[in-house]
Structure 1
Amino acid sequence: MSIVSSHGFELPLRLLLAFRMLIDELHAELARQGHPDMRPMHGFVMQAIGPDGTTAVELGRTLGVSKQAAGKTIDALERVGYAERTTDPHDTRRKLVRLTPYGMEALHLSARIFDTLRGRWADELGEERLTALESDLRTMTPGNPWRLDTPSWFTNL
């Protein structure tokens, strides 16, 4: 077994490339299975909305964007049928954003597709190596992988 010497800059590029490949494959499969309008940012937003819903202000805070940016994203999700605005049953002055059944279906389908993609990686690399890679990444990253503000961090100039 030969060891390939790498430059430090290659690690983040390879991690980003792996992420991009998985996301691109996910969205190609989502399109094949009835969700052609799903975009990578939608997944972050829909996870932030969650099964109980949220407000535009709370969504903006979670995603690390302004209320206005969150509102535009909610508008986009409404147009394609993934989210809807409703009145909060506990406070009629508040508007909640909730996922529609179509939006929930997309999230559940995404989870199944990610499991399939992980299976392909396990077939290619071997389950033991993939499990070791995942374990190593858990060691090197914070405990909570749900950093939903990642898109705003990445685009913050």
Structure 2
Amino acid sequence: MDKSLLQQQVLARLAEDLRQAEQAARTAHETATHEENVAENKYDTLGLEAAYLATGQARRAEAIRQAMASWRQFRPRPYDASQGIQLGALVCLVDADDRQQQVFLGPPGGSMKLGSGAEEVQVISTEAPLARALLGKFEGDEVPMPVAPTRRPFEVLWVR
């Protein structure tokens, strides 16, 4: 899996999320300001609720814009075996049942699952618990990860 392709997929998904958030903000704003939604009494709160929703969607859109800016500036580097796993690493983990999972460590705001053919990659921010557990690890290292009430260890199979 090519890291630059993953980056492009994240940006495309964020662009779609932004389009949806902006549309939702516009719709909520129109509802909040429509003349039929003027409150007739203190219990008539449709306009107020729509205004709150419009504000929330506008904040969500701004957060997505910031994430897109971070992802546009992001330049994934090749894996440096002397430093271990860092931001931009594509990591394959394997659990005790030999199930493999690919993880791509990126900037904040792009947490999502991406698929390419038969491969699926979980994109996570370095702020995520799994990413924090992976930082500085090397191929062959065991990474304890809290899952539900038990800690399920993963082994770092390979890093790119």
Question: Normalising to structure 1: TM-score of the pair?
Answer: 0.24
Greater per-residue strand proportion = 2
Greater per-residue helix proportion = 1
Rg larger in structure: 2
Question: Normalising to structure 2: TM-score of the pair?
Answer: 0.23
Q: Which of the pair has the greater relative contact order for Cα pairs under 8 Å at 6+ separation? A: 1
